[in-house]
Structure 1
């Protein structure tokens, strides 16, 4: 499950002044998002195409983090 965090919104170059009202319009708790992030599946329920760049950023961030945690990243292989 991909988790969207504030960093992903910024990486997608979204204006936070516009994102906060978007969250409210869709019934998402802004403060809970800031504290814990939000599952990409919840954002998909909006059927809003504007979420796709944010989800791509989150997937890239998570893939990069996973690559840095893999044993191959630390022992010189690959």
Structure 2
């Protein structure tokens, strides 16, 4: 009897670099989303409006996205 491959649960051969880059992108996406929330809320608490609020939120987005993306990629590298 021949078993046909494919379907749910089949593993693919993915390189370690691909796993690390996917983990970084996933972590950066989550970090940017959290940066929008926390940066916007903290900017509004400080009374920022307009360009100041957008600048504060953008800086928070980049910092949290880079940080969380780096931690996720390091975790993926340790599992390779």
State TM-score, norm by structure 1. Answer: 0.39
Higher strand share: 1
